[in-house]
Amino acid sequence: MSSAPESVSWLAPEWPAPQGVRAAFTLRSGGVSRAPFDTLNVGVHVGDEAEAVRENRRRVRAALALPEEPEWVEQVHGTDVRDPDADEAGAAGPADAIIARRRGRVAVVQVADCLPVLFAALEGGTVACAHAGWRGLAAGVLEATVHRLGVAPAALLAWLGPAIGREHFEVGAEVRAAFVRTHAADAAAFTANTRGRFQCDLLALARARLARLGVTRVYGGSWCTYADRSRFFSYRRDGQCGRMAALIWRE
């Protein structure tokens, strides 16, 4: 874990990223938001005061020495991929993955239990991040991101950030069915519980999808947002809460 003036703290991914590629995952401390968004909430859509969110985002940019303002976008648990350096001028709207090809452009997704996945091309020219909750995973957000990157899967690195763990992620049979109907092997990521429902391993589902794509250099995935109240926001645990940011850019 790293820290900086203004008490903003973040996780620095441990992965063999190419030279010039930087990434971070913000924690919940070091901001100005009041409960239940205390304190470093970066989400404008959760009911927090707009001025507090602006200050929190300013602190994140200063602490991480970001080259420019991140590409904040609305996320809708879908599969749309924003590629600002390739899309037609004026392209906008919600997206659940962001690609950054130009140096200095900062791609970001916001999470509070959903899985953030960062991507970097081994040659260092392109990076991306994806917002992968169960709906996005089942719909194919990782596949859409890798396809849009235009980099051979074997030449990609992926980092899995903090997300809700299997022990705390209870889902219904319809969630299991959304995965198993297309990939029977995904049944291994669901464990039946005593309430007639299932404990879902979101990280295992993501790893399986990356493996099927041919992305074999996968790192991270060792944190549970629900279990660590002091560092992470968790929507499943708290209901109304803040959002954390997973960011990646090229210097």
Alpha-carbon span 220 to 77, nearest angstrom:
22
Each of the 251 residues of the chain gets a pLDDT tens digit; together they read: 444 445 899 999 999 999 999 999 999 999 999 999 999 999 999 999 999 999 999 999 999 999 999 989 999 999 999 999 887 655 568 999 999 999 999 999 999 999 999 999 999 899 999 999 999 999 999 999 999 999 999 999 999 999 999 999 999 999 999 999 999 999 999 999 999 999 999 999 999 999 999 999 999 999 999 999 999 999 999 999 999 999 999 99
Continuous H helices in the chain: 50-64, 134-139, 141-149, 173-180, 202-213, 235-238
Flag whether 76 is in a domain: yes
Flag whether 27 is in a domain: yes
Flag whether 216 is in a domain: no
Q: What is the CATH number of the domain that holds 240?
A: 3.60.140.10
Q: Is the CB of residue 176 less than 8 Å from the CB of residue 187?
A: yes
Flag whether 176 is in a domain: no
Q: Look at residues 5, 227, 244 and name the one whose alpha carbon lies nearest to residue 115.
A: 244
Flag whether 206 is in a domain: no
pLDDT at position 91: 59
pLDDT at position 92: 66
pLDDT at position 198: 98
Flag whether 159 is in a domain: yes
Flag whether 10 is in a domain: yes
Flag whether 175 is in a domain: no
DSSP 149-179: HTS-GGGEEEEE--B--GGG-EE-HHHHHHH
Alpha-carbon span 10 to 246, nearest angstrom:
9
The structural domain count of the chain equals 1
Domain that holds residue 44: 2-163+224-250
pTM (2 d.p.): 0.94
- Number of H helices and E strands in the chain, helices first, is 6, 14
